[in-house]
Amino acid sequence: MVKQKPDFGALFKKYRLRSSLTTLKEFADSLAKKGFAFDKSLFSHWQKNIRIPKNRKLILAIIQMLIEEGGISSLKDINAFLESADQGYLTDEEFTQVAGHSKFSTRLASADKTLQFLIEVNRSKRLVRTGWTEMKINDPESVAEHSFQLSIMAIFLADQLGVNKERLVKMAVIHDLGELITGDIVCSRGKIIDIEKRYQKERLEMEGILKIFGIINKSNEFKSIYEDMLERKTEEAKIFWQLDKLEMAIQALVYEKESNKDLEEFFVTTDLHLQDPFLRKILAAARRNRPNIKNKR
């Protein structure tokens, strides 16, 4: 299906009415202050899509004005407006020009900053999970592989468990990114949980999360999600930590079958954390599928 180009007139009217410039006269007066003086009848033609401005400097001035007046609130809005006038997309230089001094600009990242963020996150594909290396597992999974499996679990189990899917998936995706700064610190083995070590780990990982998402001006959004996880009070947070442990048990099952190693302590840890009845059924199924280990440690 061919993507339909946005209608300039409809967007012009939508963004103008969303702003404080509710009349065409107010719009004309405001635009004149930016050096573009036109009879307000022209704007009526724009609104009806009879005529469409082609001067990019003029369109950028309109965008800047609509940002200042609250009519445009996202980069998506900007690019839709430009596309409707056959003007392509906003460049980084133009973004600085039209939105550089607005509150709106703090929510967006440049292409360079976005690339920097993605390269930083890419390191999670090579950061190995410490628990498996300590067990001398050959080719142990990375932090990214664990997060991927956990995200899949969050996607298809959220509805069944009655929690907010979007928030649960975000938790699954970001929860270990702080380890890019701290490394993967193990604070529990079997029934032994080092509470002080866990607290220090979580505090350091919070700092890591803020640093990484600060690159793209998203620290506040993901700080809120991470704090929710650490407080363990919402249903999403409670389910998340159970899924995190269940994923570990499933991975232990896979490694037992591949390596003939007894990984009982990972099943014990999971059993201590699971409260949801359905998740406990999955754990029970995993236990039933464990192989008979010939040479137990």
CATH code, 236: 1.10.3210.10
Q: Which residue has the higher pLDDT, 106 or 292?
A: 292
Q: Which of 107-116, 206-215, 233-242 has the lowest mean pLDDT?
A: 107-116
Question: Is 267 within the bounds of a domain?
Answer: yes
Query: Same structural domain for residues 139 and 249?
Result: yes
Look at residue 107 in the predicted model and tell me its pLDDT: 61
For the chain, what percent of residues have pLDDT higher than 70?
A: 88
Q: How far apart are the first and last CA of the chain?
A: 59
Q: What is the mean pLDDT of residues 109-116?
A: 86
Q: What is the mean pLDDT of residues 281-291?
A: 97
Query: Same structural domain for residues 93 and 139?
Result: no
Query: Same structural domain for residues 166 and 79?
Result: no
Last residue of a domain, one of 73, 103, 133: 103
Look at residue 205 in the predicted model and tell me its pLDDT: 83
Q: What is the mean pLDDT of residues 222-245?
A: 91
Last residue of a domain, one of 103, 134, 160: 103
Last residue of a domain, one of 41, 71, 103: 103
Query: Same structural domain for residues 128 and 92?
Result: no
Residue 187 has pLDDT above 80, yes or no: no
Q: What is the mean pLDDT of residues 225-231?
A: 88
Residue 184 confidence class, pLDDT cut points 50, 70, 90? low
Question: Is 134 within the bounds of a domain?
Answer: yes
Question: Is 296 within the bounds of a domain?
Answer: no
Query: Same structural domain for residues 96 and 128?
Result: no
Q: What is the mean pLDDT of residues 40-68?
A: 91
Question: Is 2 within the bounds of a domain?
Answer: no
Question: Is 252 within the bounds of a domain?
Answer: yes
Q: What is the mean pLDDT of residues 127-136?
A: 88
Question: Is 71 within the bounds of a domain?
Answer: yes
For the chain, what percent of residues have pLDDT higher than 90?
A: 48
Residue 96 confidence class, pLDDT cut points 50, 70, 90? confident
Query: Same structural domain for residues 170 and 62?
Result: no
- Provide the strand spans (E) within the chain: 188-189, 192-193
Q: What is the mean pLDDT of residues 87-112?
A: 76
Give me the chain's average pLDDT, please: 86
Query: Same structural domain for residues 38 and 80?
Result: yes
Q: Which of 20-24, 48-52, 78-82 has the lowest mean pLDDT?
A: 20-24
Residue 256 has pLDDT above 80, yes or no: yes
Q: What is the mean pLDDT of residues 133-156?
A: 94
Query: Same structural domain for residues 259 and 153?
Result: yes
Look at residue 68 in the predicted model and tell me its pLDDT: 85
Query: Same structural domain for residues 129 and 98?
Result: no
- Helix runs in 69-164, H state only: 75-84, 92-99, 111-122, 130-134, 143-161
Side chain identity, residue 80 = A
pTM of the predicted model, to two decimals?
A: 0.63
Question: Is 220 within the bounds of a domain?
Answer: yes
Query: Same structural domain for residues 93 and 143?
Result: no
Residue 190 has pLDDT above 80, yes or no: no
Question: Is 272 within the bounds of a domain?
Answer: yes
Spatial CB neighbours of 211, under 8 Å, sequence gap ≥ 6: 181
Residue 131 confidence class, pLDDT cut points 50, 70, 90? confident
Look at residue 216 in the predicted model and tell me its pLDDT: 86
CA proximity to 182, closest of 166, 202, 205, 199: 205
Total of domains in the chain: 2
Do you know the residue count of the chain?
Answer: 297
Residue 225 has pLDDT above 70, yes or no: yes
Query: Same structural domain for residues 129 and 233?
Result: yes
Q: Which domain holds residue 227?
A: 123-288
Side chain identity, residue 99 = A
Query: Same structural domain for residues 82 and 198?
Result: no
